[in-house]
Amino acid sequence: MFRFEDPWVLALLALVPLALLVRRWLGARRSGALEYSAVPTVLATGEGHRPWALRMPSVLRTMALCAFIVAAARPQTGATSENVLTEGIDIVLVMDISTSMLAEDLQPNRLEAAKAVATDFVAGRRNDRIGLVAFAGAAFTQAPLTLDYGVVTSLLAELDPSMIEDGTAVGMGLATAVKRLEASDAESKVVILLTDGRNNRGEVGPVTAARAAQALGVRVYTVGAGSRGTAPVPVDDALRGRVYANMRVDIDEETLREVARVTGAQYFRATDTESLSEIWEEIDQLERTEIEVQNFTQYSERFAVPLGAGLLLLVLELGLAQTVLRRLP
């Protein structure tokens, strides 16, 4: 950014042409004569300096005066910065990666669809720490709470059912996420839990984990992913290779609703890819904080540049006027 601290001083530039006219008028009133003993001798000496060269000292003096006026107006350049005063939210994503998540009622399958919308969710956050927990027959932390969204999205992309024994330990996944938020001092703490089944593994039940979340002030949004009825699931057969089997969609919606209710959040059901995307967008809007930002600009003085230029022009004018462009009185 650029500005003049005292822009009114620049009005003096309008007086410079007037000063030149006055000087020219006064110069025209002067008269002088110099007698020569022989006119032919003077003519034989040639023209001397060209007319434009004789005007150089006056031009340099005028430019120096303009530079001094600009310097007096105090030109400044500034850099704008901002301070974010409001802390963000701590959010842990809990993803089911059991083999049933390979069902293709969501495109291309439940797991890939969930990873895609979660990646968009992470990319849209600002100033929020994000963590990632995955579960199947057991649960593990894939990414601790971090502001490095690139790392979270990379780890999301790596999620695969082969990473852990099969099963659906919903309670253990939630308990692991709550443990990650236990030491958080953020004003708002949130878990987004996505699954396509019912809890059948682990030592901690979903509702028990939800009560622990409630005690810590953690809201748990639950998402059931899967169509109603049956869904095609790829199965590797030793003789026929990969085949598809229609499996009944068995989401424990009652328990997921109870988990969300206990923690003061909401339960959502995604029956296709479009509704899953809309659910994550809705959660994204529900968990937004007003971020207070202070903008300020720090200015630096730049008057030394025109001041130095003016002094240089003035020295050059004096040097020329006293040497090669010296005029007789």
Check whether residue 211 and residue 66 sit in a common domain.
Answer: no
Q: How far is CA 227 from CA 185, 222, 273, 275, in A?
A: 38, 16, 10, 11
Looking at the structure of the chain, the number of domains it has is: 2
| Residue at 22 is within a domain | yes
For residue 75, the 8-state DSSP code is: E
| Residue at 123 is within a domain | yes
| Residue at 85 is within a domain | no
Which one-letter amino acid corresponds to residue 201?
R
Instruction: Give the domain extent around 317.
Output: 2-80+296-322
| Residue at 328 is within a domain | no
Check whether residue 316 and residue 271 sit in a common domain.
Answer: no
Handedness of CA 17, 20, 26, 31 (dihedral sign): negative
| Cβ atoms < 10 Å from Cβ of 167 | 19
Check whether residue 150 and residue 6 sit in a common domain.
Answer: no
For residue 153, what is the domain's CATH number? 3.40.50.410
| Residue at 195 is within a domain | yes
| Tens-level pLDDT at each residue, the chain (329 residues) | 788 888 888 888 888 888 778 777 776 655 555 555 555 655 555 455 556 566 777 788 888 888 888 888 888 887 776 665 566 799 999 999 999 999 999 999 999 999 999 999 999 998 899 999 999 999 999 999 999 999 999 999 999 999 999 999 999 999 999 999 998 988 899 999 999 999 999 999 999 999 999 999 999 999 999 998 999 988 877 777 778 888 999 999 999 999 999 999 999 999 999 999 999 999 998 887 665 556 667 778 888 888 888 888 888 888 777 776 665 55
Sorted by sequence, the CB contacts under 8 Å of residue 87 that are 6+ apart come out as: 127, 186, 187, 289
Q: Which of 53, 73, 71, 7 is nearest to 311 (CA)?
A: 71
Would the pTM of this model clear 0.85, i.e. be above it? no
* CB-side neighbour CA atoms (13 Å) of 117: 28
Q: Are 247 and 230 in contact (CB under 8 A)?
A: yes
Q: Which of 271, 255, 185, 251 is nearest to 220 (CA)?
A: 255
| Residue at 17 is within a domain | yes
Check whether residue 117 and residue 246 sit in a common domain.
Answer: yes
